[in-house]
Each structure stands twice: as C-alpha cells, then as structure tokens.
Amino acid sequence: MEKRKLGKSNLEVSALGLGCMGMSFSYGPPKDKQEMITLLRAAVERGVTFFDTAEVYGPFINEELVGEALAPLRGQVVIATKFGFDLSGSDNRPGVAGLNSRPEHIKQAVEGSLKRLKVDVIDLLYQHRVDPDVPIEDVAGAVKDLIQEGKVKHFGLSEAGVGTIRRAHAVQPVTALQSEYSLWWRKPEAEVLPTLEELGIGLVAYSPLGKGFLTGKMDANTKFGSSDFRSTLPRFTPEALKANQAVADLLGRIAKQKKATPAQIALAWLLAQKPWIVPIPGTTKLSRLEENIGAVAVELTPSDLREIDSAASKITVQGNRYPEHLEKLTGR
C-alpha cells in the first residue's frame, strides 16, 4: 500500500490506517478476541501499518488487544493511542468519565498504555479531548518531557480548535490532529485544514465512513442496539437517516460509474483532498477491511471531485454528530 507522511514530522504510515475502537467498544458488545487478533494481523499482511486505539476504549481492553496482536509485528507498525479521560471512577465510559489532562495524570496514563501495548515507546500520543481546566501549554510540555525521556515519539491532538492547536504547537510540535472528517462532516475545511497546512500538521480522519452511514447499508429503518452508541446520536435518528440519505445516494451513483463501492468512494474522496490526510476506518470484518484497502486504488479525477463537491453542496446534512454533553468537548 502507498505510504503518507503526517505533516512535516516525517511520521510515515500507510495511506489508510485501521481504527480499532469498535473491536472492543461502542458498536455493540466486544468482539471475539482471537478473531480480532487474526484481523489485526491480516491488516498488517495487506500493508496497513497504522493502528489507532485509546485507553478509554473498553476502557483498557482495546489497548491490550492491539498490544497482543501486534507484539510479533512491532517493527512494521505505528500505534497511536490517547490520554485525557479520568478513568479512576466506577463509571469510566467517555462522556461519563471526566476529563483529566493534568501533567502528572498524563505521565501515569502513558505508563499504563506502554504496558498494555507491550511497547517501550508510543509512536503517536494524542490528547483525546481538550481539557479546559489545564492550559494546553502544560499538556504539550508534559508530552515534550515524555518525548525527551524516550517514552513517546510524536504528539497529537484530537478534536482541538485552531487556537489550541497553535498554542500547543508552539511548545511541542504537533505531528497530527485527529478529527472527524468525511463527506457528511466537512466543518474542518473552514479553519482547521488551512491551519494544519500552514503549520505542517497531518490530519488523521476518524469516522471517514460516517460511522457506517456512508457505506450505503443503512436507511431510516436501521435499528441500533442499546450497547451501540449510535443509538444515542442525533444524526442516527430515523428522521435524520432519512434526510441524509441523499449523501449515501450520491456516493452510490459515483460508485457505479467507477465500478467501486460507496465506502471506497467516500475514502478515495478523503485521500484526494490532501496528501497529508490519513483516514482510519474501523471494521471487525476481513471482507470490509479488504474493501476499504481497495479505496487506495480508486482514482477520482478532478472532474469526479468537482461533480461530488457540486452535488454535496446542495445537500444539508441533518442532526448533530454527538449529544450535547459530548459535542461541547469538541472544537475547543
């Protein structure tokens, strides 16, 4: 698979990474561990070198899974993880767990992640969500210390606003920003992407398939179980799914022309936006992993991209990405 560099940092990863959250967390009950280990190793065999996890996924069990699966392949892969939630309480799900990016907490979190991931150094360490109670300079300074100690290689932010990115970058260069970006969430284009380009920071696009919606496999009748966090998202109510069908239909039309799938067009569109964008679609199925990898070979011409943009600009996507208490954690 072709490689991409995240910003000016020279951190080189496969053009598509693999988001591992859903293997343990958020999309229904945790999947069978042995099957997921097999899937993670199959991804490496097929050229994927970039894997995304976080201590809060599970919590902890997703890092353990990724650590166990990739231990024999350590020299071939880049593993990203995240800190920033306070997981000491009895209810430590994100959104319920409070934020905690105090420097001493970051250092504790990193010790735990190193053990679970079975590594001596974390390739890319993100602050999961901006903590309004801790100056971002203190956060960047703590990660800078960890880099100097040889425990972390690269610093990242997730869902941070432009002011925060600039302030953090002035203390410790930011290698990558992880944010949601796809054909149905294009807000980063206004301010975030130009800032990243100016500062030489890569973008890691999570939910590049709109949490499954852009695959064209959902409609207003799609039901989500109580352990599937999409059941709580405004964008996945039956009314919103119906209103947003136009986006999936557009991808379906282009996919037919290109002899590809809607998911492949959604990913190819992201890859075509900037050479420093790396989408990290998640999956728990080998067939989907292979389909997603196939997106790298889909060529969208300038006229294809104009057609997609023109059609997409006429569609107003309905529904917020997150319930209010989670939405307010983004863009700070």
d(CA 142, CA 106): 7
Residue 251 confidence (pLDDT) above 80: yes
Domain interval for residue 60: 3-212+273-297
Angle at 323 between CA 32 and CA 28, to 5 degrees: 15
The answer as to whether 106 is a domain residue is yes
d(CA 212, CA 249): 14
* Token pair recorded at residue 240: 């919103």
The answer as to whether 20 is a domain residue is yes
E strands, the chain, in order: 3-6, 11-14, 18-19, 50-52, 78-83, 122-127, 152-158, 174-180, 202-206, 277-279
Provide φ and ψ at 319, rounded to 5°.
Answer: 95, 140
Under the phi-then-psi rule, with left for phi > 0, alpha for psi from -120 to 50, and beta for the rest, what region is 95?
left
Q: Which residues contact 61 (CB under 8 A, 6 or more apart)?
A: 24, 25, 30
Query: CATH number, domain at 287?
Result: 3.20.20.100
Alpha-carbon radius of gyration of the chain: 19
List the catalytic residue out of 27, 57, 181, 206: 57
The answer as to whether 332 is a domain residue is no
The answer as to whether 250 is a domain residue is no
The answer as to whether 319 is a domain residue is no
57 is catalytic: yes
Q: Write the pLDDT tens digit of every residue in 55-78.
A: 999 999 999 999 999 999 999 999
Beta bridge partners of 182: 185
**pLDDT of res. 168:** 98
Number of structural domains found in the chain = 1
pLDDT band at 95 (very low <50, low <70, confident <90, very high): low
The answer as to whether 304 is a domain residue is no
The answer as to whether 24 is a domain residue is yes
Q: Write the pLDDT tens digit of every residue in 98-127.
A: 999 999 999 999 999 999 999 999 999 999
The answer as to whether 153 is a domain residue is yes
Q: Write the pLDDT tens digit of every residue in 265-301.
A: 999 999 999 999 999 999 999 999 999 999 999 999 9
Whole-model pTM above 0.85? yes
